Amino acid sequence: LEPLTNAAGPPKVTDRPVEEHPIVQNLRAWDDRAVAEASQFRGELTIVLPPERLRRAAEYLQAEPGLQFDLLSDISAVDRFPIEPRFEVNYHLVSIPLRQTLRLRVWISGQDPALDTLIPVWPTANWHEREIYDLFGIRFEGHPDLHRILMPDDWEGHPLRKDYPVEGFGT
Amino acid sequence: MTTIETAAGTAQTMVLNMGPQHPSTHGVLRVVLELDGETVVKARPEIGYLHTGIEKSCEALTYSQAITLTDRIDYLAPLSNNLGYCLAVEKLLGMEVPKRAQYIRVLLTEMTRLNSHLVWLGTHAMDLGATSVMLYCFREREEILKIFEMVSGQRMMTSYFRIGGLALEPPPGWLDRVRRFIEMLPSRVEEYENLLTRNSIWLMRTQGVGILGATDAIALGVTGPMLRAAGVAYDVRKVFPYSSYDEFNFDVPTRTEGDSYARYLVRLAEMRESLKIIRQAMDKIPPEGPIKADAPGIIPPPREKMKTEMEALIYHFKIFTEGFAPPPGEVYQRIESPRGEVGYFVVSDGSPKPYRVKVRAPSFVNLQALPKLSEGGVVADMIACIGTIDIVLGEVDR
């Protein structure tokens, strides 16, 4: 009997070394400390940025003619409780003219989690950031309209945090 | 209420609540409008009335169980959401799905697109006063739902796509029924066009209403027919093909006006393209062959095998008691749903339950453009603006 996890076999994607990826090289050439870590899984490139460089890197990724990441598809937060730094925030980018995709990731601490808003770069970030504020309790500095979007305004707690039970409190 | 300066002097604006119970909001959407007479000064959508915590619930279920929740996100396109989620988990597993299953998936997701566009056309036309179109559209949609029922046993919450393939072999004769349907539909689409495309009331209600240009659309993250009506040919099926879409020959209809009428024309053209894809898929689907991947620990074994083979019984027991555990990692799978880009971001920590499932819902993102579409227009055009976005509130609130 094969072990269950191996039933699908190894990944079929042919990954090239991540440091040689043109997007990673481009970012490194722009700012030596912009890329904290780069990895590839199932053909998807993830670049980890230091949180304080997120805003400038976003502006660069959108404006640079060799990158042109004009569409911000999605922002997703993940709670890694009880690991510290606790939250990861993933930005899924698409370059419509160059047909490429990229995931940006920043790690932020569970102590008073906060991050720069990306609304000036991609206005679509507005509701995504409100949703993350609502469900994870991460503040976005400089957001013009940061309040709950899905839960009622007087709700207590942030439901998608891992220390929030699925069945809720007090039921 | 605020005081504003107008040409005639100072005036006071009025705040009007539209919804959450309003027939034209297609569910429970509340829009807080600030009006200067008939003109919309500010529109602020308020959402969350249908929030059911689907993403949180997924974390408490196994990978296979979570499929049933994806149906309920966008109840007009359940199969598109099934597909997005299954593809994400398959990518996580590094699993290859048999071609036959892939073609059947393509055929059924295109039927879903027809279904969704028919409901959109019917309700949008009814909102703007053309009641008869709704009756025609629902007549055709009924046939699609009957095909879904024939294939999966369910009209709406099908859960027909499973991780690694399909739930069950489609019944004999189902393709004949699909053929009869797609032979009938083109003339029906023409009928809708005769009712609306050159209808002067329809033109007055939609032309130049709710204009969204390409730059604004991309900046606001708008995808799907709304983006294509603004002149950007971004279709995930073409740009990042999945499930063998690269083997199909179809066009991506675009317009450049970016108004409600352009979006109407794009959606009608998309229905014709879907028919083209369905026709090709019918030729491609082999009459026989596997509909599930060969992965013993992940795909439940057939019933007969369980009664004769020990391993099959063990696998069956393990899959339904524990589930299966993909390797740790995360993937983002995007697909083109009738409303735009659906994205599933699935994170695995190596356990049998997803650590995090995030749904990128196109309705949620597209609804953000509502103030841009409606501000500066009149209240009556609000209805056209909401209708033209084609929102499904279940998907907005998840």
The mean pLDDT value for A24-47 works out to 84
CA–CA distance, A145 with B383 (Å, rounded to integer): 25
Return the residue of B nearest to A134 by Cα.
Answer: B48
Q: Over pLDDT 70: what percentage of chain A? A: 89
Closest partner CB to B365 (pick from A42, A79, A124): A124
Distance separating alpha carbons of residues A22 and A67, to the nearest angstrom: 9
Q: Which residues contact A165 (CB under 8 A, 6 or more apart)?
A: none
What pLDDT does residue A125 have? Answer: 92
**Mind listing the pLDDT tens digit of every residue in chain B (398 residues)?**
455 565 555 667 888 888 787 776 777 888 888 888 888 888 899 898 889 889 999 999 999 999 999 988 988 889 999 999 999 999 998 888 999 999 999 999 999 999 999 999 999 998 888 888 889 999 999 999 999 999 988 888 888 999 988 988 899 989 999 999 999 999 999 988 888 888 888 998 898 888 998 999 999 999 999 999 998 989 999 888 888 898 899 999 999 888 999 999 999 999 999 999 999 999 999 888 888 888 888 888 888 888 898 888 988 898 888 888 888 888 999 999 999 999 999 999 888 999 999 999 999 999 999 999 888 888 888 888 888 988 888 889 88
Residue type, A148: R
B297 contacts A76? CB cut-off 8 A: no
Q: Which of A104, A81, A80 is nearest to A23 (CA)?
A: A104
Alpha carbon distance A74, A94 (integer Å): 10
Residues A105-123: pLDDT tens digits? 999 988 889 999 999 999 9
| Residue whose C-alpha is closest to residue B329's, from A34, A13, A169, A167 | A13
Q: Which two tokens stand for residue B304?
A: 């007969």
Count of pairs with CB atoms under 8 A, one residue in A, one in B? 123
Amino acid in position B9: G
Residue B150: CA atoms inside 13 Å, Cβ hemisphere, count?
Answer: 16
Say whether A160 and B56 touch across the interface (CB within 8 A).
yes
Q: Which of B30, B246, B294, B356 to mutate to test the interface with A (most CBs of A within 10 A)?
A: B356
- Given the DSSP bridges, would you call strands A87-95 and A100-108 parallel, antiparallel or unpaired? antiparallel
Structure tokens at B79: 């199969």
pLDDT at B66: 92
| The pLDDT value given to residue B219 | 92
More confident: A7 or B226: B226
Which of A11, A103, A150 is the closest to B48 by Cβ?
Answer: A150
Distance CA A169, CA B200 (A): 56
Residue showing tokens 């400089």 = A142
Are the CB atoms for B53 and B373 separated by under 8 Å?
Answer: no
A6 has pLDDT over 50: no
First to last CA, chain B: 32
What pTM was computed for the model? 0.89
Enumerate the H helices of A11-143 as residue ranges: 22-30, 54-63, 125-136
Considering only CB atoms, A7 lies closest to which of B51, B296, B356, namely B296
pLDDT for the residue numbered B262: 92
In this prediction, residue B143 carries a pLDDT of: 92
For the purposes of burial, counting CB atoms within 10 Å of the CB of B20, is it exposed (0-12), middle (13-18) or buried (19 or more)? middle
Residue A20 has pLDDT above 80, yes or no: no
Q: Is B353 on the interface with A (CB under 8 A)?
A: no
Tell me the HSE value of A83 on the side-chain side, using a 13 A CA sphere: 8
Strand B9-12 versus strand B3-6 pairing type: antiparallel
Here the tokens at position B313 are 């019984």
Residue A3 has pLDDT above 50, yes or no: no
Q: In the prediction, which pLDDT does A120 show?
A: 92
Neighboring chain B residues of A152 at a CB cutoff of 8 Å: 48
Query: Tokens 């953000």 appear where?
Result: B368
Q: Which residues of chain A make contact with B360, given a CB cutoff of 8 A?
A: 73-74, 76, 92
pLDDT on residue A66: 83
Q: Is the pLDDT of residue A21 over 90?
A: no
Confidence of residue A5 (pLDDT cuts 50, 70, 90): very low
The two beta strands, A44-49 and A100-108, are: parallel
Nearest CA in chain A to B319: A4
pLDDT of A92 higher than 90: yes
Cβ contact B373:B389 at 8 Å? yes
Q: What backbone torsions phi and psi does residue B344 show, to the nearest 5 degrees?
A: -115, 120
Q: Which residues of A touch B (CB under 8 A)?
A: 1-13, 41-42, 44, 70-74, 76, 78-79, 90, 92, 96, 99, 101, 103, 122-124, 126-128, 135, 148-152, 159-160, 166
Q: Look up residue B159 and give its two tokens.
A: 């859960």
Task: Please tell me the distance from the alpha carbon of residue A123 to that of residue A95, in angstroms, as a whole number.
Answer: 16
CA-CA-CA-CA dihedral for B11, B14, B15, B18, to nearest 10: -130
Q: How many angstroms away from the CA of A52 is the closest CA of chain B?
A: 23
- Which helix (DSSP H) or strand (DSSP E) does residue A38 occupy? strand A37-41
pLDDT at site B95: 87
Q: Which residue of A has its CA nearest to B58?
A: A166
Please state which of the ranges A11-25, A84-98, B40-54 shows the lowest mean pLDDT.
Answer: A11-25
